[in-house]
Amino acid sequence: MVNKVNAHVERLHRYLPFNPSHDQIYEEYQTTDDSLNLETKALAYLKKSVKDKARLIILTGDAGHGKTHLCRRLIEYHFSCSQKEARDIINTQCDGKQFIDINNTGQPLRIYKDFSEMGVDIASEHIEKALNDDRTTIVCANEGRLRAILEYGKDLSNSQELLKQFKDSFKDGVSSHSGLVHIVNLNYQSVASTNDQSLVSMAMKAWVDGKRWSTCQSCDSKEHCPILFNRNQLSHRESKKASIRLNRIELLFATAERLGAVITIREILMAIAYFLTGGLGCLDVHQNLRKKKAGWQSNYAYYNLLFKTPPEISSDKLKKISVLSNINLLDPGKKSLREVDEKLINEQGIFEPNSIDLQFTYRSRGKVINVDASNGIDEVISDPRSKREQNNEAIFIQELVQSIRRKLYFEDQGVQEMGLLGFEHGNDFIEVLAGNMTATKMKTVKNKLIAGLHTIQGLQIGDDETTLHIVDPSFTSSVGHTAIIAKKIPTTLIKILSMNNAWNTSDGLYDISSSVDWLDRHIVFRIEDRNLKPFDFPLNLMVFDCIARASSGYVAEEFYAHDLRRIKTFLGSITQQHVSEEGNIPLFINGKMRSISIDEGVIQIGGSL
């Protein structure tokens, strides 16, 4: 056997933002038929809308979500043409100047592949024209640009209605009301959706497929290649634990989205190409092995690449893969949990020995010491004789422990995965969104949130309280632990819902969750009122965890400063919209609830409520 070069690895390098051939991943510049064609819900929704003869379909969202790609796939499907023909049409006939009708389908399409190429005044006129045309027009526009265009044309009747529909879509979760005009907001598209297969899962399975890696099986470097190691770890054909690892990768990206990150398809493809290869090519691997460097492969294990940049790559090169900065904040290697660390350090046989990703080297008094980390830090045996040697050993042990913590997160099915990512109550959050929580467990979660809201307001009432007490914002808790209660809401009027269920659209045909690959990113804390519209407060993962942690009686105010301001603003707004009908004024003082009444000008304080 000899050293080989896998063309698939070179193909993956095109997705790295620091590679010279990176521009080939953009739809307009692709010349081959080897592009990754993911079957997204947005594509299915687009096909159906065209088939139903919609007048206007707007594809909006950040750059990289695949708007141009969707148009190219639609052209292939609608006109029964090849990828090459569809790309030629994209580049020559999708400026909106003409209707496209090849092969005489009888249903022509007008496509604007980029609305940013024209001024807002002209674009507004084109929108109005499309709304008055019986034929189908498809518009691609970034969300900010679309807002500007619709605001400019708001004096026009049709555009005014479209602007209202666009703004309402963020509140009611509907992409279309009539079936004639559709707004497909790809910023709601998730790369880690829980419906069927996620985009991350589909891309991973396509890229670690066995046929693409057949060249590696006859390569001399295969036993020591970190690229092939990553592929084998994530391939169902090669590893029994691959499904666990893939699920944990999906959870990472889903968590980033639930914290507010908008991750595009382009970005996820760049991220996958990066943590599969680490920027290494086949020739780089061969060269490193010729140098007989020991222990270098651990830097390129997929679970380390997700959180730590290898020494050969500067952090500036990865700035275009912005999701990596979001993922870095979730690093399980930097989360110290006693039960996890004791398991890693004291138990034997957790990891298989002699795996290339667990080989480390460090220097001690001029000697290079090789360490197999399959049994934790047992093999780190040295005799430091100076402060410098002690510091070097401490840094080495820290890096080793962080690495095996990360590996444990991706391989151990028994760990609390959300706890390893830093969210103590993260599993409750996911269980609520999944909709399979029992009534007893839901009651426990609801009481926990109520107790947390009490703590945030300075009330120490207990975690079994069945009433949410809202402190008057003008009389918040003082040094004397006294507060005036502006509103009391029983738990029967409080609902904990997923965002999709909170929207509660009628038939689901034109729901946003049906138009894109959907992931519930928020829990809605809803307060119902018989006389008023329900009052909703969306909780992302960070805010939910903040309130749930506060239920123990303490909240880290500096760390959660931004979230606490939002929570207190929400609580204050309740007192404005939900007016108390009680004659007495409830008072919390010295740990007890009392009542205040004013009778004949005399203030009276009643007993405990």
pLDDT tens per residue, range 487-529: 888 888 999 999 888 886 556 678 898 999 999 999 999 998 7
What are the CA-CA distances from residue 147 to residues 12, 142, 150 (Å)? 36, 9, 5
Backbone angles phi, psi at 212, to 5 degrees: -75, -15
Dihedral sign, Cα of residue 141, residue 142, residue 143, residue 148 = negative
Asked whether residue 608 carries a pLDDT value surpassing 60, the answer given is no
Percent of the chain with pLDDT over 90: 46
List the single range of 124-128, 239-243, 388-392 with lowest mean pLDDT: 388-392
Distance CA 533, CA 506 (A): 17
Contact predicate 39/202, CB 8 Å: yes
Neighbours of 315 (CB within 10 A): 10
Reported as a single tens digit per residue, the pLDDT across 53-86 is 999 999 999 988 989 999 999 999 999 888 889 9
Contact predicate 152/26, CB 8 Å: no
Query: For residue 140, what are the β-bridge partners?
Result: 59
CB hemisphere CA count around 206 (13 angstroms)? 18
Contact predicate 338/273, CB 8 Å: no
Q: What is the pLDDT of residue 604?
A: 59
Backbone angles phi, psi at 140, to 5 degrees: -110, 125
Asked whether residue 249 carries a pLDDT value surpassing 90, the answer given is yes
Backbone angles phi, psi at 56, to 5 degrees: -140, 130
What tokens does 336 get?
């110290």
Kindly indicate the confidence band of residue 420, based on its pLDDT and cuts at 50, 70 and 90.
Answer: very high
Of 296, 297, 298, 300, the closest CA to residue 278 belongs to: 300
Helix 83-93 to helix 67-79 angle (10° resolution) is 120
Reported as a single tens digit per residue, the pLDDT across 124-167 is 989 988 988 889 999 999 988 899 998 888 777 777 888 889 99
Q: Catalogue the E-assigned strands of 438-546.
A: 467-471, 482-490, 494-498, 523-527, 535-539
Q: What is the pLDDT of residue 540?
A: 94
What tokens does 37 get?
């064609």
CA dihedral defined by 599, 603, 604, 609, rounded to 10 degrees?
100
Percent of the chain with pLDDT over 70: 89
Reported as a single tens digit per residue, the pLDDT across 559-593 is 999 999 999 999 888 877 654 545 566 767 666 66
Asked whether residue 548 carries a pLDDT value surpassing 80, the answer given is yes
DSSP 115: G
Asked whether residue 32 carries a pLDDT value surpassing 60, the answer given is no
CB within 8 A of 384, min separation 6: which ones?
Answer: 364, 390, 392, 393
H or E, element range at 288:
helix 282-290
Mean pLDDT of 393-401: 88
Distance CA 539, CA 286 (A): 50
Asked whether residue 30 carries a pLDDT value surpassing 80, the answer given is no
Distance CA 204, CA 250 (A): 10
> With 0-12 CB in 10 A as exposed, 13-18 as middle and 19+ as buried, what is 454?
buried
Kindly indicate the confidence band of residue 598, based on its pLDDT and cuts at 50, 70 and 90.
Answer: low
Contact predicate 334/409, CB 8 Å: no
Distance CA 134, CA 97 (A): 16
CA dihedral defined by 272, 523, 536, 186, rounded to 10 degrees?
20
Q: What is the pLDDT of residue 479?
A: 45
Q: Catalogue the E-assigned strands of 98-250.
A: 109-112, 136-141, 181-185
Of 188, 171, 184, the closest CA to residue 45 belongs to: 184
* Angle made by CA atoms 192, 195, 197, in degrees to the nearest 5: 65
Of 579, 580, 4, the closest CA to residue 283 belongs to: 4
H or E, element range at 360:
strand 359-364
Distance CA 416, CA 425 (A): 10
Contact predicate 417/251, CB 8 Å: yes
Reported as a single tens digit per residue, the pLDDT across 441-487 is 999 999 999 999 999 988 887 767 788 988 887 765 444 567 778 88
Mean pLDDT of 40-55: 94
Distance CA 510, CA 503 (A): 12
First to last CA, the chain: 84
Report how far Cα 180 is from the mean position of its chain's Cα atoms.
31
Backbone angles phi, psi at 485, to 5 degrees: -90, 120
Report how far Cα 96 is from the mean position of its chain's Cα atoms.
34
Distance CA 55, CA 45 (A): 14
Mean pLDDT of 331-354: 85
